[in-house]
Amino acid sequence: MPSKKRLTSVAQSTAHHAMSGLCYVSQHLSKACRKEGKNGYVIDLLESNPCPDEFRTIEPLRLSLGALKDKLKDILVSEGYSEFEEIKEAFIRFGFTDPKSDWATFCVVGLKDTEGVFVQKSVDQTGKTTKLIEHTTEQVGGHNSGGCAPSA
């Protein structure tokens, strides 16, 4: 099993990709969440179809979330993991706190391996790594109405 450093690298790379212009999840999820009055959303990237049921009719979002899951798999393999077999949890939370922006304000990627090692990394809309307010896995990964946010 690769080291915690490798797992942290996977989380960091995935967060940066998710906030980049190469990944369309941020824009499509932002529109969908605003329409539903949500200021954030957690996506389980280990689901066979990571697109939430309530948004599955939004084809660009469904396709971009599938592509993000594929990118995570590629990053895992590049860091020495055997795809998802060694990963117990993989989530990404997007926050939409700027009402004037069509992009997420931040995203947090959380990963837990089968040995129980848990890491999370946060990136803001400018691509900068941000510090997180401390949360437990359950607080960050299990809810779609609050949870993780970068610290100021």
Which strands sit side by side in the sheet containing 118-124, from one edge to the other?
A: 40-44, 87-95, 106-113, 118-124, 129-130
Q: CA-to-CA distance for 25 and 73, rounded, in angstroms?
A: 16
β-sheet bridge partners, residue 109: 92, 121
**pLDDT tens per residue, range 41-50:** 999 999 999 9
What's the whole-model pTM score?
Answer: 0.85
Question: Per the structure block, which two tokens stand in for 9?
Answer: 């690298």
**pLDDT tens per residue, range 105-120:** 999 999 999 999 999 9
Domain ranges of the chain: 4-141
Listed residue (60, 67, 143) closest to 102, CA to CA: 60
